[in-house]
Every structure is written in C-alpha cells, then in structure tokens.
Amino acid sequence: MERDLKLDILKAIGIILVILAHTAKEKNIIFHIRNFDVVLLVLVSSLLFSRLNETKKDYSKNYFLKRIKRIAFPAWIFLVFFFIVYFFIYKYMGLEYFNSGTILLSFFFAEGLPCVWILRVFILISLSAVFLLKIQKKLKSKWSFLVFLAVAYLVYEFLIFLYINSNLSPIINSLHAYHIIDSLFFCFIPYSLLFGFGMILNKLTKKEIIFFILVFLSIFLFSGYYLNYNSDTFVTPQDYKLPPRIYFFSYGLLASLILYLLITPGLIKIVDSRPVIKKTIVFISTASLWIYLWHIFYFYLLDLPIYIFESLSSEPYLLFFVVLILSMFSFYIQKRLVLRIIEHLKLNKKNSERIFELFIK
C-alpha cells in the first residue's frame, strides 16, 4: 500500500511535539500551544486504521493483538534495557534507584515512568476500534455516528463531574483501585470516542471540517472563559488533561483540524519533491514508537547531575533538539544493527519478520 505523506507529516509533527513537551523545563507559551499533540496522534492513528481497513481485508480482525505486538512488546523490551542500564548508572553515581512500584507500573504503562502513559492510551483505544467500526457501519450515516459520539462524550463528562464532586475518590484510593479507574474510565472512554471521530475525518468535506473547527473554537472559548472567570490563576487546557475534559479536547481538536487543513495537496507536493525532507519525515513517522522510547532514555540521561548536562538543561530548546537528534540517531543505529544481524544469521522469512516487527517496524 502506498504511503500517505499527509499522515506521515501529521504523525511526525505529533511525536516531535510530545518530545518537546517532555523536555520543556518551563511552561511557556510554546508549551501550551503544542498541547494538541496527543489528540493529533490519536486522530492520525484512527485515520490510518480506517485507511488500512478499507484497503486490506480482515485488517480489523484481532486488531487489539496486533497493537499489543506493535506497541507493548517493543516497549517492554526497551523498559528491560532501560532499567538494567540505569541500575548501573545510578549505582555508580550513588543516586537513588527507581522503587519497585515505579518499575512495575511502568510495565503496565500506568503511573511509573511519567512518559509511558501515552502507550497505554493507544493500547486501550485498540480495544474499542472494532466495536466503533461496527457501530459506524450499523448507523451508516456519518452524522448519526457523530451524534452517537457526542452523546457518549456528554455522558462521560457527566460521570466525571459526579466522580469529582462526590466522595468516591478517597474510597477508590483506599481500595487501591485508582489505576483501574484511571485506565478504564479516564483513559479508555474519552480517547476511544476521539478515535471514533478520527475514523470519519477523511469522510468529511472541507466545509464540514471548517464547521467543526468553528464548533470546537466556540466550545474552547466558552469553557476557557467559564473556567477562568473566578480563578485566581490562568487555567489552561493542560490543567484539564488528566482526566481529559472538554476544555482540553476542544483545544486539541481545534488545533489538529486546523493543521489537517493546512497540509494541502500543494504542500504535500512540495515535500514530495524534496527527497531529504521527505525521507526525514517518513523516517520519523515510521520509527515514531522507537524514537519515542529512545527519547525517554536520553531524557533521564541528560537529567543526571553532571555539569555538562546541567548546562544543557538550562537551555530547554537545545535540550529538546539534542534529545530528538540522539533518539533518531539511536534508532538509525538500531535499525542498521538489526538488519545486519538478520542478514548474518540467515533467518527464515517468518523469524525475520518477527524481529523486524519488534525492533524496526
């Protein structure tokens, strides 16, 4: 199947913005502007799911297991490597090592390492993908499907309101059930509905997308005004990211849809005519998972109390560029080594594909 350069551009932008968020040492205007990154990546994932489902027979079959193989297995391999390497680094430097809870929760993509939660989002929404596809086909009309998503989201907001304004939180925490509620309620439902919106995005006309831009702009402005009216400090979408609420989602969808329209066929043609730019974008897009994982490694490495690293950390955008370049370079070396090992061992096609899926794809 021919690559969709538009999706590659959007995916590359999304992963770069996430890395920017994690390396930012101060929450300035750029930090808040880029706060649509996760929403954008979920929309790209759902657009790709819809595209592949239309071109490949039975693509949606066992989709959850495919995503586990595509996301969880490589991440678990990386986490084993990460915790072993940092055990020796922290021991050598006399630093306190990660506690057992942090390590365990990281492998569940919960509240362990702060960067792994996004992987949980993509694994969980894969559970709902086939279910949403069946609803979409049953409702037939894209507008009926959109109404279903809107009503479901309003129910979610109402339940969140009840949860926050009730006495359930201390009870759930006392039962050590917060991580279950957080994963299945705060994460699974809202991001699945967002995934559903992305599934019909490529079926919307330009005028319809502009209509939704105006809708999300209105919701964003109204919710921002309401939340800031009696607040002593300025409330941003970032403040309503966990659990995700309408203020966060309306901004994320607003910015993502504007970007979606800005990447016109003319722009794609320009990128396509410049091999270096195109190869870089496709490289980042196809290697997004491993680039993301490697950025976690370098983020912690460059955060060590070493003078040269401390000097680097004082320049947030320099730190961002160094982490991004090192992460890309590490995957490039990883890819070359894995391909050479596959060639040297002369593995059969099936085993070669398995290794390729784990370390390259």
3-state secondary structure 308-333: HHHHHHCCHHHHHHHHHHHHHHHHHH
Residue 222 has a pLDDT of: 96
Residue 167 has a pLDDT of: 66
- Higher pLDDT pick, 312 / 81: 81
- Higher pLDDT pick, 315 / 41: 41
Position 174 pLDDT exceeds 60? no
* Cβ-Cβ contacts under 8 Å for 272 (sequence gap 6 or more): 5, 278
SS3 91: helix
Position 6 pLDDT exceeds 70? yes
Residue 224 has a pLDDT of: 94
Residue 170 has a pLDDT of: 60
Q: What is the pLDDT of residues 111-128, one digit of tens each?
A: 788 889 899 999 989 989
Residue 182 has a pLDDT of: 61
- pLDDT, mean over the chain: 88
Position 168 pLDDT exceeds 70? no
Backbone CA torsion sign across 186, 189, 194, 195: positive
Token pair for 316:
């947030």
Position 101 pLDDT exceeds 60? yes
Give the pLDDT mean for 235-259.
94
Question: What is the amino acid identity at position 184?
Answer: L
Q: pLDDT band for position 169 (50/70/90)?
A: low
Position 163 pLDDT exceeds 90? no
Give the pLDDT mean for 215-239.
92
Residue 223 has a pLDDT of: 95
Residue 318 has a pLDDT of: 85
Residue whose tokens read 């992987």: 119
Residue 46 has a pLDDT of: 95
How buried is 91 (Cβ within 10 angstroms: 0-12 exposed, 13-18 middle, 19+ buried)? exposed
SS3 343: helix
Q: pLDDT band for position 11 (50/70/90)?
A: very high
Give the pLDDT mean for 209-229.
95
Distance CA 263, CA 258 (A): 9
Least Cα distance to 32 among 257, 212, 248 occurs for 248
| CA-based end-to-end distance of the chain | 15
CB 167 within 8 A of CB 174: no
DSSP state of 231: -
| Residue 90 Cα distances to 86, 108, 217, angstroms | 6, 23, 47
* Cβ-Cβ contacts under 8 Å for 57 (sequence gap 6 or more): none
Position 172 pLDDT exceeds 60? no
Q: pLDDT band for position 178 (50/70/90)?
A: low
Task: Count Cβ neighbours within 10 Å for each residue of 229-262 and write b for 16 or more, e otherwise.
Answer: eeeeeebbbeebbebbbbbbbbbbbbbbbebbee
- Higher pLDDT pick, 125 / 180: 125
How many residues are listed for the chain in this entry? 361
Distance CA 130, CA 135 (A): 9
Token pair for 28:
């300035």
Position 283 pLDDT exceeds 90? yes
pTM of the model: 0.93
Position 231 pLDDT exceeds 90? no
> How much of the chain exceeds pLDDT 90, in percent?
60
Give the pLDDT mean for 330-341.
93
Compute the radius of gyration of the chain from its Cα atoms.
21
